[in-house]
Amino acid sequence: MTLFTAATAQEAVAETFSYNNERFADLQMLRYQVSGFENLTLKQKKLIYYLSEAALCGRDILWDQNGRYNLRIRQLLESIYISYSGDRSTTEWQAFVTYLKRVWFSNGIHHHYGCDKFQPGFSEQFLREAIRQSDMSRFPLAKGQTMEAFCAELFPVIFDPAVMPKRVNQADGEDLILTSAENYYGVGVTQAEAEEFYGKMKEAAPDPQRPVMFGMNSRLVKEGGKIKERVWRSGGLYGEAIDRIVFWLQKARTVAESAKQEAVIDKLIEVYRTGDLKAFDDYTILWVNNTEDDVDFTNYFTESYGDPLGMKASWEAIANFKDHAATERTRKLSSNAQWFEDHSPVDPRFRKDRVKGVSAKVIVAAILGGDLYPSTAIGINLPNSNWVRAEHGSKSVTIGNLTDAYNKAAHGNGFQAEFVIDAETQKNIDDYGDYCDDLHTDLHECLGHGSGKLLPGVDVDSLKAYGSSIEEGRADLFALYYLADPKLVELGLLPNGDAYKSQYYTYLMNGLMTQLVRIEPGKNVEEAHMRNRSFIAHWALEQGRGKAAGGGDVVALVKRDGKTYVKINDYKALRGLFGTLLAEVQRIKSEGDFEAARQLVETYGVKVDASLHQEVLARYKALNIAPYKGFINPRYEAVTDNNGEITDVRISYDEHYDQQMLRYSREYSTLPLEN
Ligand code: ZN
């Protein structure tokens, strides 16, 4: 009995690409489009295909890392979801489906962001009954285990709020390992034991200047009273999954784009086989130096947010390729860096004589796996090893198609309709808003941060706690000032002299009003980026009073039907204000004028108007926007000829979230249920 409907061929054809997919609990599923995949060569498509298989084969690793019962609970829930013969219209069934989807999304039974265990919206009685009415042969019973014993073992994990309440506990003063449900440490290992174990290891490090990332690829266990590592490698813990990853990496090597890339893959395979952390550092160095190829990827244990001690890394993978059009945009800016520096409104004493722009790489994500799926970042900056970064640099990329998907989804959610003042402004934002956002980011990253210089003898840290707000504000102001410059139209980066207004409007709307949705009532603005947007917007509001052409205010907050809106009366004058503030912020930075930095940030950047805050929160709440988002992957299928040779790789986007999850469980269940 098939209870999840596979889209028929006709439906698939009829279904146009949609960014918005489905919504449950506090989550919304989105799709991302792999723009440009069709234009890749067959060899590149094969490379993406093999890397995407490698990215999916590690799925179970992350589930097991997130908690030792996760794989069994997933199989139990999926078995019921597939085979339950009872009434599927009840509210308890709906609650069951929501619970399963949340578990899928989090790769386990704890919230992906908050780390708290989900409380099911259905009863133990319901689950017991559902088990009875489902196909028992599918349940993950241990050998010889009765259904009763099975329920007795798993039910407290699912239902009892006191059992494994938090995946990662950071509460000061408690034993962070014993009180965290993650599976990086075996039963009974204490925080003191782990710290002692790794303390000794670090002391004995052969090269203290270039330490490996101790403990990052193993579980620490206690066996016969002894503390030891079970390393994640071929033949070791997670070996079954790792061998399948290696299988696909070997395929990928046959279609690598360059000898450098072959070397990267070879080294990674060596790391998977041996678990040697020195080899891992060597791999990251090869990877960081491989910048010329179009296709790139990561596939290993990477980030350590899931370990309360911040050592052990969760498994993640991404395959991607260069977005040439977007990368060309940043190249154009950085090759004109000196022109921008020479024409900036800052005092020539604070300008750089020789400025070098940074050419940022924009990538298209082709597959997301492990801890990057389905919730993911829109930028990547790796590797994490401090000494490798210092000696060999890092790769920093923005993932254009994911940003794009977030933007597209935001258009339908009513947010702008609620906060943008009128149809004319909205039209401009619809036409140019997303693009100008990207361009703002490019100007900020490629030129803004790199512009200007300190006067001789000025300490880089003289602005202390205000340093990062001032620095981010400086880069933003550089971007805002130049967005309205005819030079951008001349360079072909903007279509006309009005497009920039979309960014001016949304920037001020955000800084004066809408970013307040991220602040709790009664609190001030704390985060550096939020402070910088706030001080720029409030300074422009204040300093623009009476300065518009004809004598009005450049920017105003106006009330309509009891609601507050941002109104920009004079865009040209606003650009002038941004230029003036850029010159002042550069002066503050160049001279290390702490007092002026403090004044600017404290006066304009920190305080929150309580009644406006309350109003914005109420209007936002009424929109009922999901706070967390995640992505459904596209599906790749290899087309083969009679000899089994791949002749094409097809991409499709019509899989529903539950279909994708059940398919992954069918095709990529690489590990035993208990590890
Ligand atoms: Zn920045």
Average pLDDT over residues 651-662: 96
CA of 201 to the centre of ligand 1 (A): 37
Ligand 1 centre distance from Cα of residue 441 (Å):
8
If you measure from the C-alpha of residue 535 to the centroid of ligand 1, how many angstroms do you get, rounded to a whole number? Answer: 15
How many angstroms separate the alpha carbon of residue 448 from the centre of ligand 1?
8
- Token couple for 142: 């241990």
Report CA(477)–ligand 1 centroid distance (Å). 11
What's the gap in Å between 532 CA and the centre of ligand 1?
Answer: 10
Q: What does the pLDDT read at residue 15?
A: 41
Predicted confidence band of residue 471 (pLDDT cuts 50, 70, 90):
very high
Q: How far does the centroid of ligand 1 lie from the alpha carbon of residue 446, in Å?
A: 10
pLDDT tens string 144-180: 899 999 999 999 999 999 999 999 998 888 999 999 9
> For residues 212 and 210, what is the distance between their CA atoms, to the nearest angstrom?
7
Angle subtended by helix axes 571-591 and 467-483, to nearest 10: 140
Cα(115) to ligand 1 centroid in Å equals 29
Centre of ligand 1 to C-alpha 413, Å, is 27
pLDDT of amino acid 407: 87
User: What's the gap in Å between 467 CA and the centre of ligand 1?
Assistant: 12
- Dist. CA 402 → ligand 1 center (Å): 19
59 within 8 A of 664, measured Cβ to Cβ: yes
Range 91-112 average pLDDT: 97
Please give the distance, rounded to the nearest whole angstrom, from the Cα atom of residue 554 to the centre of ligand 1: 26
What sign has the CA pseudo-torsion 195, 199, 200, 202?
positive
Instruction: Please tell me the distance between residue 469's alpha carbon and the centre of ligand 1 in angstroms.
Output: 9
Instruction: Say whether pLDDT at 18 is over 90.
Output: no
Residue 138: which pLDDT band, with cuts at 50, 70 and 90?
confident
Mean pLDDT of 189-211: 94
288 pLDDT higher than 80: yes
Instruction: Report the separation in Å between the CA atom of 27 and the middle of ligand 1, taken as the mean of its atom positions.
Output: 28
Confidence category of residue 20, pLDDT binned at 50, 70, 90: low
Q: What is the pTM of this model?
A: 0.84
Alpha carbon distance 250, 256 (integer Å): 10
Which pair of structure tokens corresponds to residue 578? 């941004």
Q: Report whether 553 contacts 569 (CB < 8 A).
A: yes
CA of 468 to the centre of ligand 1 (A): 9
Look at residue 255 in the predicted model and tell me its pLDDT: 98
Mean pLDDT of the chain: 93
**CA distance readout (Å), 236 to 239, 298, 535:** 5, 21, 54
What CA–CA distance (Å, rounded) separates 369 from 405? 18
Compute the distance from residue 521 Cα to the ligand 1 centre, in Å: 27
pLDDT greater than 80 at residue 636: yes
Question: 607 alpha carbon to ligand 1 midpoint, in Å?
Answer: 22
User: Does pLDDT of 121 surpass 60?
Assistant: yes
How far away, in angstroms, is 544 Cα from ligand 1 center?
25
C-alpha 345 to ligand 1 mean position (Å): 20
Q: Where residue 19 falls among pLDDT bands split at 50, 70, 90?
A: low
**Mean pLDDT value across residues 397-404:** 90
Compute the distance from residue 202 Cα to the ligand 1 centre, in Å: 34
Residue 474 CA to ligand 1 center (angstroms) comes to: 9
Centroid of ligand 1 to alpha carbon of 452 (angstroms): 14
Handedness of CA 345, 350, 352, 358 (dihedral sign): negative
The contacts of residue 97 (CB under 8 Å, 6+ apart) are 81
Residue 369 · residue 317 · CB < 8 Å? yes
Q: 404 CA distance to ligand 1 centroid (A)?
A: 20
Give yes or no for residue 221 having a pLDDT over 70. Answer: yes
Token pair listed for 505: 């409007």
In this predicted model, what pLDDT tens digit does every residue of 65-91 receive, in sequence order? 999 999 999 999 999 999 999 999 999
CA of 476 to the centre of ligand 1 (A): 8
Please give the C-alpha separations between residue 134 and each of 79, 82, 130, 151, 526, in angstroms, as whole numbers: 7, 8, 6, 14, 51
State the distance from the centre of ligand 1 to the C-alpha of 479, rounded, in angstroms: 11
Distance 480 CA to ligand 1 centre (A): 13
Chain centroid to CA 237: 28
Percentage of the chain beyond pLDDT 90 is 83
Taking the centre of ligand 1 as the mean of its atom positions, its distance from the CA of residue 482, in whole angstroms, is: 16
Please tell me the distance between residue 504's alpha carbon and the centre of ligand 1 in angstroms: 18
pLDDT of residue 8: 32
- Ligand 1 centroid to Cα of residue 529, in Å, is 8
Q: Please state, as a whole number, how many other Cβ atoms lie within 10 Å of the Cβ of residue 93.
A: 18
475 Cα to the center of ligand 1, angstroms: 6
pLDDT, tens digit (0-9, with 9 covering 90-100), for 294-321: 999 999 999 999 999 999 999 999 999 9
Q: Which token pair is 195?
A: 């710290």
pLDDT at 13 over 80: no
Spacing, Cα 450 to ligand 1 middle (Å): 10
- How far is it, in rounded angstroms, from Cα 309 to Cα 177? 8
CA of 512 to the centre of ligand 1 (A): 19
320: Cα within 13 Å, side-chain hemisphere: 27
How open is the CA angle 273-275-280, to the nearest 5 degrees?
A: 105
Compute the distance from residue 629 Cα to the ligand 1 centre, in Å: 24
pLDDT at site 360:
75
For ligand 1, the distance from its centroid to the CA atom of residue 314, given in whole angstroms, is 27
CA of 229 to the centre of ligand 1 (A): 39
Distance 343 CA to ligand 1 centre (A): 21
Question: What distance in angstroms lies between residue 445's CA and the mean position of ligand 1's atoms?
Answer: 6
pLDDT confidence tier of residue 140, bands split at 50, 70 and 90: confident
CA–CA distance, 88 with 185 (Å, rounded to integer): 39
